[in-house]
Chains A and B, each alone.
Chain A
Amino acid sequence: MSEKDMIVVEDLNKWFGDFHVLRGITTTIKEREVVVVIGPSGSGKSTFIRCINHLETHQAGRIAVDGVELTNDLRNIEKIRSEVGMVFQQFNLFPHLTVIQNLTLAQIWVRKRTRTEAEATARRLLERVGIPEQAEKFPGQLSGGQQQRVAIARALAMDPKIMLFDEPTSALDPEMIKEVLDVMKELARSGMTMIVVTHEMGFAREVADRVMFFDYGQIVEEGTPEHFFEAPEHDRTKLFLSQIL
C-alpha cells in the first residue's frame, strides 16, 4: 500500500426518491489497498461502489478518482470509467460475442488498440484467470464460475487502476465460488486497488487491508480484519457478525 490517494469520497449523499440511501459517506482509499465492504442488504453498499464509476449519480458530496473529479461532464465520466474496472453480480457478459470478442471489444473501441494487440492481451488474461481454452466459445456455453472469471478478465483487459466488485460470487453455485475467489486473491496480491462488496467473510479475513461495515447508508465501523472480526466496537456490527458467522 502506498501513500497515494486513489479514491477520495467526501460527505457523499444520495436519495432514491424519498429514500435516503447514502448518508454522508466519507473515506479515502489508497493505491494498492484492498477494501472489503460488508453489510446487510439494502444498506447502500452496492450503491456506494456504483457511484464511484457513475453508474449511479450522487446528489451531494464529492468523489475524486485518481485525482479526477467526478462531475456530470460526459468526458470526465468516460475517462474515469476506462480507469475503473467493474465486475457485476450477474456477470453481464455480452451474449452475442465470443469470449475473446468480449475481451477485445472495449480495448479496440475505447483504448484504440489494434486487433492483434487486443487479442494478445485477451489471451494473456484468459491464461491468468485459468481458462485459455474457452476463448472461442460463447458465454452461454460456460459455467457461472467461468463466466465470472471471463468478466474479471474483461475488466482487466482495459488495464484499470481500480477494480470494483459488486457481490461477484452471490449468483454462483457453491462449488464455483472458490475458483472466482482464487482469481480475486491473486489479483489482490498483485497490488491492484480493489473495492469488494461481498458476503464472503473468509475472503475478507484473508486478503482485506480494511473492512468497512455499512448500515442504513452509513459506514458504521471500519478497520483491519483482525480488529473488525475479533474486537468489533459497535453493537450493530456485533449483531451482524453474530448472525452470519
Chain B
Amino acid sequence: MIAPPLPEDVGAIRRWTRWARENLFSSTFNSVLTVISIAMGVVVVRGVFSYIFASGRRWYVIPPNMKLYMSDVYPVSAMGRLWLSLGIVMVLTGLSLAVWRAGGRLTPARLSSFSSGVGLSLLFVAAIISIPSGVRIGIAIAGAVFFLASRLAKLLWAGNEDAEVISLMGLLLSAVVAVLVVVWILPIEHGTRVSITIQAVLLVGSYLIGLVVRKAVPAGVSKGSLVALWFLSLPVVYLVVQRGPTFGDVPVMAMVIPFAAGFAIFGAAYMWWAGSTHEGEATKVVSALLVIASIAIWFTSLAMLPRFLLLALTVFGLAASTFGGTARGRNGLVAGWIAADLFIAYFMAVSMGATGIPILGNYIGGLNLTFLLAIAGIALAFPLGILLALGRTSSMPIFRLLSTGYIEVIRGVPMITMLFFGTLVINRFLPADVGLDIVVAVIVAIAMFAGAYLAENVRGGLQSIPKGQREAAQALGLTTVQMTVLITLPQALRAVIPAIVGQVITMFKDTSLVSIVGLAEFLRIAQKVVPNQTGSLGSLQESLLFAVAVYWVFSFGTSRASMRLEKKLGVGER
C-alpha cells in the first residue's frame, strides 16, 4: 500500500523518517539488509579514507613535480608551444560552451542538494575515519560549511528554487577565479602563473565572443564551423607541439606548390562542372574513373602528396551529386575543395616530408600526451567506426566482407599488440618517403583499434532503426547517401550515445598502455618518474593517488557531460 503524500508544511525530520520507513525498513528482511549494507559501507569508506589520509603522507611532493606530470621532459624553452596549443583548445572550448549553450540549467534547488550532499558526506567521513584530530576537525568544519551553505541557499531562494538564477557565465567566472586564486597561492613559478592566467582570460573572453556569435550567426553555420575547427585543431596542435613550422628538406618549390596549385585549379573546375550538371551521365563516369585512378595510384611510385590529393578529390567527386545541383551547393563544393587542397598540401609538407624531423628532440609526455592520444584517437576512430558500421550493414558484399573482416580481426587482438603493430610494423607498409613518428603511429593504432569497437556500437544503432524510416526516405526520393547522412545515421548515433561514451572513457584510460612502447604518458610519470626524483624519492603512493584523482575527474566529467547530452537530445523520449 502506498501512503498518501504528506502535506506541504510537514517538517524535514518527519519526511526523512517516513522516507526511511518506506524505503529502508519496509520489512524485517529489508531492515536486516539495510543494516548489513550500512555496516559494510562504513568499513569500506573508513578503510579507503584512512589509507588516503594516513599520517605521513607527503602531499607536498606533488606541486613541484607538476611540470613532469603535465609534459615530462618537454624542453622548458619550448613550453610556449604547449601553452599556445592549450590556448587554441581554450578558445574553442569557450566558443563551444557559448554556442551550444552548455550548462545554464543550474537551479538553487540542485545547487543546494549538491552542497548538502557534499557536506553530509564530509561529516560522515570525518566521523568514521581514523586520522589525526587536526585533519578530522578540518574535514568536519568543511562539511558543516557545505551543509549550512545549502540551508542558506534554500532560505535565500525560498519559493523559486527552480528558477535559473545562476548563469553558466557566473559559474564559469567563479571556477576561473577559484583556479586563479589557487594558482597564485601555491608555490609555483611566476611564468606558469602568468600563463595560466592568460589561459583563463582566453577561456572567458572566447566565451563572451561566442555569446555574440550565437546572436549574429545562424546556429547551423556556427556549430558546423566549430566542429570543423575542432577537427582542424588536432593536426594544428600536433604540429605546434611536436614539430616546428619548418619545411625542412621537402622540395616545396618542386613538388608541393605545383601539385597543390594544379589540383586546386583542376579540382575546382571539376567541382564546378560536377556540381552543376546534376543529372548528367558523364559525371558518374568521371567519378568512377577517379575511384579507379585513386586506387591505382597507390601501386605507383608517386609521392604521397598527389596520392592523398587524388583520394580527396575522388571523395569530393562522389559527394558532388548529393550536395550539388544548386548554385549554393556548387559554390560550397568549389570552396570546400580549395580549402581541403590547401590544408592537405600544408599538412603533408610539414608532417610527412622526407626529413620530417621532430625538431624538439624530445617527445611530449605526461597528461598532455595522454590527452593528445585520447582526443586524436577518438576523433579519428569516429569516422573510421562509422564507415565500418555502414560497410558492415551495406548491401554490397565486398564492403560487407571487408568491414566484417577488419572488425573481427581487430577485435580478436589485444590492444597492446596493436600498439606494437603501430610502432614496429606500420612503417613497413608505407612508402619509403613516409615515416610516421611514434606518437602518430600510436594514434593510428589506437584509432584502428577503437574504430572496430565503435563500429559495432554504431551498427547496433543502425539496426535499431525501424524499416519504415528507410522506406519513408526512399519514398520521398532521397538517394542512399542522403538517406544515410540525414535520416539513419543521426538516429543511430543518438540511440547509442551511452555505449559510445562508455567507450570514450575506456579509451581515455587505455592510453596508459602506451607506456609499453616507451611513451611516457601520465600514469608512467606518476608511477616511475616522479617517485624517483631526488626531491620526492619513494612517494609512489601519493603520486598514484594523485593519478587516480586526475583520471577520475576527467572520466566522471565526461560521463556527466554525456548525461546532459542525452537529456538535451531527448534519448528514449522521442
- Give chain A's interface residues, CB within 8 Å of chain B: 53, 55, 75, 78-79, 81-82, 84-86, 88, 90, 92-96, 105-106, 109-110, 112, 114, 138-141, 154-155, 158
CB pairs A–B below 8 angstroms (15 shown): A75-B279, A78-B479, A81-B474, A82-B476, A82-B477, A92-B466, A92-B471, A92-B472, A94-B469, A96-B491, A106-B477, A110-B482, A112-B326, A139-B574, A140-B573
The residue of chain B having its C-beta at the shortest distance from the C-beta of A111 within the complex is B477
Q: What chain B residues lie within 8 Å of A55 (beta carbons)? A: 471, 474-475
Determine whether the beta carbon of B475 is less than 8 Å from that of A86: yes
The answer, among B322, B328, B476, B486, for a CB contact under 8 Å with A158, is: B476
CB <8 Å contact, B477 and A88: no
Cβ A92 vs Cβ B469 within 8 A: yes
The verdict on B494 contacting chain A, using a C-beta distance below 8 Å, is yes
Q: Which residues of A contact B477 (CB under 8 A)?
A: 78-79, 81-82, 106, 110, 158
From A96, A109, A114, give the contact of B574 (CB < 8 A).
Answer: A96
A86 CA to B479 CA in the complex, in Å? 16
Q: Is the CB of B494 within 8 A of A96?
A: yes
Instruction: Please report which residues of chain B, range 474-501, place their CB below 8 angstroms from some CB of chain A when the two chains form the complex.
Output: 474-479, 482, 486-487, 490-491, 494
* A232–B478 alpha-carbon span in the complex (Å): 42
Contacts A105-B486, A109-B482, A112-B326 given; does A95 touch B476 at CB 8 Å: no
Residues in A neighbouring B573, C-beta threshold 8 A: 140
- Give the CA-CA distance A149 to B180 in the complex, in Å: 57
* Other contacts beyond A95-B491, A112-B325, A154-B476: 11, CB < 8 A: A81-B477, A82-B477, A88-B471, A90-B466, A94-B491, A96-B574, A109-B482, A109-B486, A112-B329, A139-B574, A140-B573
A residues less than 8 Å from B478 (CB atoms): 105-106, 109-110
Given B326, B472, B482, B570, which contacts A94 in the complex, CB threshold below 8 Å?
A: B472
Q: How far is the CA of A158 from the CA of B328 in the complex (A)?
A: 20
Q: Does B159 contact A (CB under 8 A)?
A: no
Residues of chain B with a CB closer than 8 A to A106's CB: 476-478
Q: Which B residues are within 8 Å of any A CB, using their own CB?
A: 278-279, 322, 325-326, 328-329, 466, 468-469, 471-479, 482, 486-487, 490-491, 494, 570, 573-574
- 4 A-B pairs with the lowest CB-CB distances in the bound complex, closest first: A82-B477, A92-B472, A106-B476, A92-B468
Give the distance in Å from the alpha carbon of A245 to the alpha carbon of B278 in the complex. 52
Instruction: Kindly report which residue of chain B lies nearest to residue A89, judged by CB atoms.
Output: B468
Bound: A84/B486 CA distance, A = 21
Q: With CB as the reference atom, state the residue of chain B lying closest to A83.
A: B477
Beta-carbon contact of B476 and A81 below 8 Å: yes
Q: Which residue on chain B has the smallest CB distance to residue A110?
A: B477
Pairwise interchain contact B475-A81, C-beta atoms closer than 8 A: yes
Minimum CB distance partner of B326 in chain A? A112
B466 — which chain A residues lie within 8 A by C-beta?
90, 92
Determine how close the nearest CB of chain B comes to the CB of A98; give it in whole angstroms: 10
Q: Which residues of B contact A79 (CB under 8 A)?
A: 477
User: Given the complex of chains A and B, what is the CA–CA distance between A140 and B573 in angstroms?
Assistant: 8
Residue of A nearest to B482 (CB): A109
- The CA of A138 and the CA of B473, in the complex, are separated in Å by 17
Chain B positions within 8 Å of A139 at CB level: 574
Q: B122 to nearest A CB, angstroms?
A: 43
User: Is B472 a contact of A88 with CB atoms below 8 Å?
Assistant: yes
Interface centre among A81, A86, A92, A114 (most CB of B within 10 A): A92
A78 to B482, CA, bound (A): 12
- Cα distance A105–B476 when bound, in Å? 9
Within the complex, the shortest CB–CB distance from A101 to chain B, in Å, comes to 10
- Neighbouring B residues of A96 by C-beta, 8 Å: 490-491, 494, 574
Query: For the complex, what is the distance from the CA of A121 to the CA of B329, rounded to whole Å?
Result: 21
In the bound complex, residues from chain A placing their C-beta under 8 Å from that of B486 are 105, 109
